[in-house]
Amino acid sequence: DAKTTQPPSMDCAEGRAANLPCNHSTISGNEYVYWYRQIHSQGPQYIIHGLKNNETNEMASLIITEDRKSSTLILPHATLRDTAVYYCIVRDLNSGGYQKVTFGTGTKLQVIP
Amino acid sequence: DADVTQTPRNRITKTGKRIMLECSQTKGHDRMYWYRQDPGLGLRLIYYSFDVKDINKGEISDGYSVSRQAQAKFSLSLESAIPNQTALYFCATSDAVNTEAFFGQGTRLTVV
């Protein structure tokens, strides 16, 4: 599975949109982009995933560039509870599981009051 | 109740002791995983299992063993604990249909 690159940390003012970038320049055609977050030392929590079209759910939006080499997770109105480490991963659904997925160090998002 | 439950949540043990971390899930998933997380590092895969008769080593399996007692239960053992196994351990599940992984709340293990 392709690896990803994320900034180590970001700040965002409460109520503003948080835009978290991810680079996955070696992504292959079968690989999806997934985002998870880990609040403090809890277990990671799934947020959203996509292949090439932009996706939106109740938690966030995912914008994937046309060449699929990068993506941005958008939290439209960040709250203090969104302070967490955000992981961008790529995963081939045909691989059958998460055994080839690399959870790197992610981006630590600090939402500031 | 949590979908993926880990016990214990916290444990302090002495060097050389055997310790077992347990994981149970109510998701009905066939795939289960054990990860370790150290400060400043991401999650590293220790072992994974795709069904009761399928056990596979992950990236950092040395010093660990696992047992898949049933579809819902996957245990991680440290046969002889050492201080550098002090870490936060996570169990996770997934299946072929649902594309997201579900993680337990973690076990904080300290080896002194």
| SS3 of A47-94 | EEEECCCCEECCCCEEEECCCCCEEEEEECCCCHHHCEEEEEEEEEHH
Q: Distance between CA atoms of A71 and A54, rounded to whole angstroms?
A: 9
Question: How many beta-carbon pairs under 8 angstroms link A with B?
Answer: 58
* pLDDT score, position B36: 97
A86-100, B9-23, B68-82: range with lowest mean pLDDT: A86-100
For A30, other C-beta atoms within 10 Å of its C-beta total: 13
Region A38-58 average pLDDT? 94
* pLDDT score, position B1: 62
B3 contacts in A (CB within 8 Å)? none
One-letter amino acid for residue B65 of the chain: S
Region A2-19 average pLDDT? 94
Region A11-24 average pLDDT? 97
The answer to whether A43 contacts B106, with C-beta atoms less than 8 Å apart, is yes
- Give the pair of three-digit tokens for residue B12: 């302090």
Confidence band for A2, pLDDT divided at 50, 70 and 90: low
Region A59-87 average pLDDT? 97
Interface test with A, best of B100, B105, B108, B110 (most A CBs within 10 A): B100
Angstroms from B94 CA to nearest CA on chain A: 7
Angstroms from A46 CA to nearest CA on chain B: 6
* pLDDT score, position A1: 56
Contact B93, B40 (CB under 8 A): no
- In B, minimum Cα distance to A92 occurs at B99
The answer to whether B104 contacts A43, with C-beta atoms less than 8 Å apart, is yes
Confidence band for B98, pLDDT divided at 50, 70 and 90: low
pLDDT digits (tens, 9 = 90+) for B26-47: 999 999 999 999 988 889 999 9
Query: Measured at the alpha carbon of residue B29, what is the angle toward residues B44 and A43, in degrees to the nearest 5?
Result: 40
Angstroms from B16 CA to nearest CA on chain A: 26
Would you list the DSSP string of A3-41?
--B--SEEEEETTSPEEEEEE-TT--TTEEEEEEEE-TT
